[in-house]
Chains A and B, each alone.
Chain A
Amino acid sequence: MTFDTLTFVLFLISVLAVVGITTSWRVKKRELLVASYLFYAAWNPVFVSLLIISTVVDWFAARGMARATVESARKRWLVASLTVNLGMLGYFKYADFLIDNLNRLGLWMGLGSRFEVPALDLILPIGISFYTFQTLSYTIDVYRRRVVPGRDFLDYALFVSFFPQLVAGPIVRYEQFIGQLKSPRRASSADFEIGAALIVFGLVLKSVLADSLFAPVVDAGFAAHAETGLIQAWTAVLGFSGQIYCDFAGYSLCAIGAARLFGFRLPKNFHAPYAAIGFSEFWQRWHISLSSWIRDYLYIPLGGNRSSTARTFRNLVLTMGLGGLWHGAAWTFVLWGLLHGIYLVVEHGLRRLLGTVDWLASRPMLLVYALLTFTAVSLAWVLFRAEQLAQAMDLYQAMFGLTGRGQLPSVAEAMVLIAIAFMLLWHGLLRQRELENIYAACAWPLRAIMLGLGLALVLMSPGEDRAFIYFQF
């Protein structure tokens, strides 16, 4: 189920009503668990089985680790958890990618099409990348003795499947959530109003900006990659920077807001990423729950920055490349990740230089760095959005002026460019502030006006059925 639908509105109201009239905390949690499974089944009931398998396997793996008296037994349980979870993820998400690459290799080696393996053409279960990482963080943390396994299976099942964050995050850690299940939670007036406001703001980002403003220009620009010019290529790419932020940050706000309506707090996932000064900071502000997951469960285990500079650089590039692959089974995603890895390596190198020259660390230069970071991030988005490498190369050529200036921006393109300028300004203002705090600081009539206008904007933005971009990951 997606947040930008009438179905979700009815679903949310129904669940709020049922949970609201229930007095027992234990029963409330069971109701939320059932609602979460209904939420997932609403897309394709068959794939609920995968969610159950992942939940059950990791529950028993964690208990097995806790019971084990020798290290080798603990490791076996961890390997079992990793095998089942990454096996399912690998099969559904990467099998066809692997087959395609094997076939290409076969052709390249001159084996001919007789050895071609047919693609499986599997349906990618929605949210599998998210809940797999969420449950894996639990078993890995139990293995590392960072958390103690839970005693209530249904509480654990709710941690895995809690519907606001189930299909596209934020990826929640066990210790962030399980404490909230221990004692009864009741949404206060503040929770309720802020939760509703976050949902409305999230929907404005998704329906008004991502889908209505940015997506048509981006789609047209990327579709015309072969004959596009400098202006159109930059507009399409900057538009995609706006679209992907509004799409995913919008989803995250809705998720956090929906959880808040039930009194739960989910970690924030975005914080003005386009105001980041440098790439390390960008990843502390963009998809925060994933980048911290990758840092804790991939980068640090690989050695992080604890050994030589060369090894640190290798770890950065490798981690980001794998992070790219997590986003999608295509070389364009891997290259996108690797490019971000290279950005981080370059930043590490430059940081030493900045420390030696005073004016390079001056305040006005920070604005220059922020703009450079945004530009470089936007250049990388080309790989993320392109369906094929050739499409990305066409756009890069156009962006570097190799195919001519192009036409003056159309009205729709001009609107996109203006919106991007406002978005950068908005991110600059939000750099040190939290959206929630800004909202809470407003007088109630102003809050009502903002909510009313936001709601009206969402209702005035009907359009095509566009899934959230991150649903495909």
Chain B
Amino acid sequence: MPSSTFSSSRLLAVTVVAVAIAASLMLVWEQHWHQADYPPMIYDDRNLWSVARDRAVRQDQDRLLAISGASRIQAAWSPRDFRQLQPGWESVSVAINGHYPMAVIHDLAADQRFAGLLLVTVDARGLARENWSASEPWVRHYHRDFGPQRRIERWLATRVQTRLVSAGADFNLIRRIEGWIRGSPPHRHSVHTLRDRTMEADFQRAHLPSLRNWFVELLAEAYREQPAPPPDQWLADLDALFAAVERIRDRGGQVVFLRMPTSDGHWELDQANYPREDYWDRFAARVPALAIHFQDEPALAELETPDTSHIDFRDRPRFTAAVVDILRREGLLPEPGD
């Protein structure tokens, strides 16, 4: 190639013009979505979960509350309020949106470093054998693929995602071209993930009737596809879980199971498929840990679940305070000043 094609001055010119073009296009792209009133938001993934999973064994285990479960506890729990209510303590969310926590419980039980207080939010369906491996891919990712680079990358991604709308997967150019052709703009989320992997659900921004219908229909279909096993078999299958709980307790940790509030059509379907007295109550009687049902705790039972299974972000402080009160009453959290 002719030497005149490339020179240090040409290199500088190409670099400056290329960066200027890329920066200008990005600026226009970012501004477009900003003006359309889309806020920057954090996108949860297996790396962010792995960061939390790592924290669950690196924090002071005598003052650690690990939260597991799925979106219901992510939407209800407020780590900030917990820190205020229980000074010196930290809570870590290892909950996974849309995925039952059984694999996470077994993973923490197998990790000798974990000896904290583990709050497991789950319902009878989540304890059924078919759902045991739901969170397994996250656990495998943590143990097999999560190294220094992914940790740094996630740290950088969180910082970028909290500042730029266009850093979110919803605003991927190809997705947007596809959306423009189909006439479907990016989804306006009423739920936002926070850095601590909990979520804020703002149901004032959501269309509640359609959301309620959607959740109930989804659940009805799930029950049709996966009917409940007979209660005796369901309970007999849980021996390994009881052993996992014992392992955590043997090294000084504690486990608490919490059945989260659900309402209306959701609760009716839960009751019809997994009647409380046949499933949850028998589980609570056998598990070597405290098992709380929301109906038995007035402070939890009176909380509203606008979409039938999630708590609005305005109720997060109430929910957190209610759980802290229960745990103190049961002697699992010390009273402040103790």
Contact = CB atoms under 8 A, between A and B. Distances in A.
Interface of A: 1-2, 5-7, 10, 41-45, 123, 188-190, 192-194, 196, 208, 212-213, 411-412, 415, 437, 440-441, 444-445, 447-449, 451-453, 455-457, 459-465
A6 B160 contact: yes
19 contacts: A6-B156, A7-B152, A7-B153, A7-B156, A41-B147, A42-B148, A189-B7, A212-B173, A411-B181, A441-B1, A445-B17, A447-B14, A449-B21, A451-B18, A451-B22, A452-B25, A453-B22, A461-B173, A465-B46
A5 B149 contact: yes
Interface string B291-307: 00000000000000000
Contacts of B14: 193, 444, 447-448, 451
B214 interface: no
A465 B17 contact: no
B8 A189 contact: yes
Given A189-B7, A190-B1, A452-B22, A415 B177 contact: yes
B19 A41 contact: no
Nearest to A442: B5
Given A6-B156, A45-B147, 4 more contacts: A43-B147, A123-B144, A440-B5, A462-B171
Contact of A448 (B13, B147, B173, B181): B13
Contact of B17 (A196, A449, A464): A449
B148 to A, nearest CB: 5
Interface stretch (B63-71, B161-169, B330-338): B161-169
Nearest to B156: A6
B36 interface: no
Contacts of B148: 41-43, 45
Contacts of B182: 411
A410 to B, nearest CB: 8
Contacts of A456: 21-22, 25-26, 29
Contacts, number: 132
A440 B16 CA distance: 18
A340 B5 CA distance: 42
Nearest to B166: A460
B121 interface: no
B118 to A, nearest CB: 25
A264 B166 CA distance: 35
Nearest to A451: B18
B18 A212 contact: no
Given A212-B175, A460-B172, A452 B8 contact: no
Contacts of B181: 411
Contacts of A123: 144
Contacts of B13: 444, 448
A407 to B, nearest CB: 15
Contacts of A1: 149
B6 A190 contact: yes
A462 B25 contact: no
Nearest to A212: B174
A455 B152 contact: no
A426 to B, nearest CB: 18
B172 A462 contact: yes
Nearest to A213: B174
Contact of B22 (A193, A208, A455): A455
A460 B46 contact: no
Contacts of B174: 208, 212-213, 415, 461
A465 B172 contact: no
B150 interface: yes
A449 B1 CA distance: 20
From B11, B19, B173, B178, residue with most partner A Cβ within 10 Å: B173
A455 B19 contact: yes
Contact of A452 (B10, B19, B178): B19
B20 interface: yes
B166 A189 contact: no
Interface of A: prevailing SS: helix
B7 A464 contact: no
A113 B29 CA distance: 59
Nearest to B3: A190
**For the complex of A and B, 4 pairs with smallest distance between CB atoms:** A452-B21, A448-B17, A42-B149, A190-B6
Nearest to A200: B18
Contacts of A440: 1, 5-6
Contact of B150 (A45, A194, A462, A465): A465
Given A41-B148, A448-B13, A464-B169, A190 B153 contact: no
Interface string B135-160: 00000000010011110110011001
A461 B173 CA distance: 6
A41 B15 CA distance: 31
Contacts of B152: 7, 42
Interface in B179-222: 181-182
B47 interface: yes
Contacts of B278: none
A2 B15 CA distance: 23
B239 interface: no
A44 B175 CA distance: 33
A441 B1 CA distance: 8
B45 interface: yes
A41 B169 CA distance: 28
A380 B31 CA distance: 45
A349 to B, nearest CB: 43
Given A440-B5, A445-B17, A452-B19, A460 B173 contact: yes
B173 A208 contact: yes
A463 B169 contact: yes
- Residue in B14, B21, B144 whose Cβ sees the most chain A Cβ within 10 Å: B14
A196 B5 CA distance: 16
A464 B149 contact: no
Nearest to B1: A440
A44 B148 CA distance: 7
A189 B177 CA distance: 36
A5 B172 contact: no
A452 B156 CA distance: 23
Nearest to A44: B147
A213 B182 CA distance: 16
A463 B213 CA distance: 30
A1 B156 CA distance: 14
A444 B1 CA distance: 13
A223 to B, nearest CB: 15
B11 A193 contact: yes
B146 to A, nearest CB: 9
A457 B3 CA distance: 30
A437 B181 CA distance: 36
A445 B182 CA distance: 36
Interface string B38-81: 00000001110000000000000000000000000000000000
A437 B6 CA distance: 13
Given A6-B157, A7-B153, A464-B169, A459 B18 contact: no
